[in-house]
Structure 1
Amino acid sequence: MTFNKLGIIGLAVVLVSGCAAQRELAEGGFDYLEVEDRGQLTFPDDLEARQQRAQFQIPPLSDQQRGGSLGEAVSVRSPAQVLSLAPGSRVDEATRESRIAFDAVEGISDLPSWVWDAVEEVVAETGAQIIERDSERLIVTAPYRIEQYSQRRGGFFSLFSRERIRFSSEQALRIEMQAASHRRSAALDVTATDIRWLRNGQAVSRENVPVMLQRDLEVGFLNQVSQRLARSYEGERLQAAQLGIDLRRGENADANAAFIIDSSFTVAWALMPGVFERAGFAIDDLNQSEGTYYTSYEPGGKRSIFRRLAFWSRAQEGDLPLDRGTEVVFTVDERDGVTYIVAQIDDEPVSAEQLDAWFPVFARAFRDSDD
């Protein structure tokens, strides 16, 4: 392959990557922007005009629509959706408002307080100044900025330049919560106001503001709250469940030696990464649908290539009678509320004698995994 061909291919790759960076923007021809508005269709007096069907009538554009984004300024992203990530949360798909509702779930004694604490934490992370506050009812922020994305400048010479155009938004948020008197349900609404779209720190004209920006800002905040509540709830459940769990040795239904815990698959699956780390294993891959962790024995963590070449440096020894780098597959399986964890080396289940030797290390790692 000649140098010219290599250059052409390289240039094509750069151009394609440049297009990928602007996936949010419309592409193609925009000849429709040059079409003149010819007004209403008129008929000669001697010609009988049939009544148009409603579905074929083109409604007139409002002034707001005429001043909206056109051509390359039109975002082609799908509208942002409020996600019901938190337990007990629900979204009314029929409404266009940015709202999420919550119902009480097991383990949450005061739902409004739980939700509002998450709201306060997310607002604090934005760094926005709060100019109005009513506990568990209202928060209004002063305008603050969010860095949205950046893209390379257009033109041939920009292909070889690292200079990028940075886009950000400036907005204020009004967050309102309505809670029932029995405190077992609540609804959270968010409204973004005073919105500006900034290009390298300078506000752009209204027609260049992304069409769905307000919706994106509102939904983004709600989803952050929902995600925080989900993490908080699962973390507390996991910690509470672990307090009453003990690890023991036994056999599974196939008579293979196994570690056993009296808990569900969900709890066991979430606990094991911490247990593996403390026992000296590194997770190389996993498949939750099959309940499988693919690990290698790496006490002290995996060594870089330079540390491996340093033969004069003694490798950290682990507590298990295993060679560093030994690949071990752990299978997690639940039967009747009891979870069995079987280890395999070279597709063969670890023997009862081997697992007995491992047990003190895993029992200690299991006890310490809630720290």
Structure 2
Amino acid sequence: MATLLQKSKVTKLAGLSVVLLLAACSGDQHYKRQVSGDTSYLDAPQLQALNVPQGMILPLQSGQYDIPQVKQDGATGLALDIRPPVQTVSLLAGSRTETAGDASRLLLENSAENRTLWAQINRVLADRSVPVSQRDEAGGVIVTDWIVWQRADEDLPLQSRQRIKIEPAGSQVAVVVTSEGLKQGENPVTDKTEITRYNNLTLNELVDGLDRMRNAARQETNASQYATPDVQSGSDKTGLPQIIVRAPFDVVWSRLPVVLESVGMKVGDRTRSTGNIEVTYKGLSSAEWSSLGMDDPSVAEGDYTLQVGDLDNRSSLQFISAKGKPLTQKENDEMVKALEAAFSKSSVK
């Protein structure tokens, strides 16, 4: 009985320790934006003029290296916010961003796609559940209601109201974000650095939303346009055989895993930046090859590196064996036929 009581006490103490630890972790978040280490340097005495004893003659002096007295108005020590400023991002083609004064701006080309910014931005706000208190389509102005920003470096989330304006900027179109109010709890925040931070965060949300929306539309168009791309035999600059797919790199890269699996290739590591895909070729049964409309190919089973090249509106494919050798012309032509059938079979409807 004594042993059970002792175990019960240990269990309760352990549970209490966990609760206290979690409570400590979920409390004050100031440490995430404060300098770490000793701040005793703030207590260093002020510089004083050298007290020269009467009758002593000092060497010639130069004021070149004198440390000037300065008036310190900014925050110091633990009161100093060391978080880096939020940088605006330029994800959209032909765009640039800038932060000046009390505004954050996105500058875009005056293209047909950008002439429908009003509808696009409203859709982004709706998709991200951003409350809107005012819309003026004629003036190109949207004013949001209070947006709650959940951030791990704040004890209490900040809330902001933002003014979003679409306006001409010379030969470009500008999306301008300014602040209509910033508060933490019920306390207004007037610090210019914080206001700029949340202006930039809002602009970045808009840019990210527009980028995702346009990429999705582009992929949908490509999926329809290149549902069954033409596959041909070709050669590289050195005359070695390769496969040419008449579709952009993005389309081919996204569809290759399914296409390769359907011709008996297990896909391993993929590196988009270099266009390399590691595959292991096991082949198919004669019946499966027959269903693709071809006889069994002569390509040897084993490990290959598939190099995918970007040729603007076309893509190149070249299989390199583990020994560093490309396919022969015959093997390459067989893979052309196999991949052409696989692309057609896996076409996006």
Q: TM-score range by the shorter chain?
A: 0.5 to 0.7
Q: Determine the C-alpha separation between the residues in 2 that align with 1:178 and 1:276.
A: 44
CA distance in 2, matches of 1:206, 1:52: 45
Deviations 1:52-97 (A, max 9, x none): 99x9463463xxx5xxx65335332322222222122123466563
Note closer, same or farther for the CA distance 1:96–1:204 as it changes in structure 2 (3 Å cut).
Answer: closer
Match of 1:348 among 316, 325, 336: 325
Question: Does 2:154 correspond to 1:145?
Answer: no
State whether structure 2 residue 92 is matched by structure 1 residue 86.
yes
1:172 alignment counterpart: 161
Preserved contact between residue 285 and residue 295 of structure 1 (Cα < 8 Å): no
Q: CA deviation at 1:131?
A: 0.9
The separation in 2 between residues aligned to 1:370 and 1:212, in whole angstroms, is 49
The unaligned stretches of length 5 or more in structure 1 are 1-17, 42-50, 151-164, 198-202, 300-316
Count of aligned positions? 286
Q: Secondary structure at the match of 2:151?
A: strand
How many Å separate the matches in 2 of 1:237 and 1:98? Answer: 27
Amino acid at match of 1:186: V
1:260, CA displacement in angstroms? 0.6
Secondary structure in structure 2 of the residue aligned to 1:344: strand
Match of 1:72 among 65, 68, 78: 78
SS across alignment from 1:127: coil
CA contact (8 A) 2:249 2:312 kept: no
Identity of aligned residues (%): 18
* Alignment of structure 1 residues 100-179 onto 2, 5 Å: 100-104=106-110, 108-113=111-116, 115-135=117-137, 137-149=140-152, 168-179=157-168
The TM-score normalised by the length of structure 2 is 0.63
What residue identity is the alignment partner of 1:252?
D
Of residues 226, 235, 250 in structure 2, which corresponds to 1:251? 235
Q: How does 1:309-320 map to 2 (within 5 A)?
A: none
Rounded to whole Å, the distance in 2 between the matches of 1:73 and 1:122 is 37
Give me the whole-angstrom Cα distance separating, in 2, the residues matched to 1:128 and 1:186: 23
Tell me which amino acid in the other structure corresponds to 1:111: N
Distance (whole Å) between structure 2 residues aligned to residue 210 and residue 322 of structure 1: 71
Counterpart code for 1:253: K
Structure 1: how far apart are the matches of 2:320 and 2:82? 49
Q: State how far apart, in whole Å, the 1-side matches of 2:280 and 2:222 are.
A: 28
1:190 paired to 2:177: yes
- Deviation at 1:247? 2.0
Q: Which residue identity does 2:38 align to in structure 1? A: G
1:29 is aligned to 2:38: yes
Contact 1:111 1:185 in 2 (8 A): no
Q: State how far apart, in whole Å, the 1-side matches of 2:188 and 2:39 are.
A: 20
- Matched to 1:178, the amino acid is E
Q: Map Cα deviations across residues 268-289 of structure 1 (whole Å, 9 max, x no partner).
A: 255223222343153513152x
* Secondary structure of residue in 1 paired with 2:166: strand
User: Structure 1 length normalisation: TM-score?
Assistant: 0.60
Answer yes or no: is the 8 Å Cα contact 1:239–1:370 preserved in 2: no
Deviations 1:191-228 (A, max 9, x none): 2444334xxxxx49789x99843323221221232234
For 2:103, the equivalent position in structure 1 comes to 97
Cα distance change on mapping 1:270 and 1:79 into 2, 3 Å: farther
Q: Which amino acid aligns with 1:112?
A: R
Instruction: Name the CA shift for 1:287/1:88 in 2 (closer, same or farther; >3 Å).
Output: closer
Q: Counterpart of 2:339 in 1: which secondary structure?
A: helix
C-alpha RMSD of matched pairs (Å) = 4.6
Change in 2 beyond 3 A, CA 1:205/1:293: same
User: Secondary structure, in 3 states, of the residue corresponding to 1:91?
Assistant: strand
Distance 2:90 2:242 in 1: 37
Q: Name the counterpart of 1:156.
A: none
Taking the aligned partners of 1:220 and 1:116, their CA distance within structure 2 comes to: 19
Unaligned runs of 5+ in 2: 1-24, 50-62
Give 4+ residue runs of structure 1 displaced > 6 Å after superposition. 204-207, 317-323
1:227 aligns with 2:212: no
Contact 1:275 1:369 in 2 (8 A): no
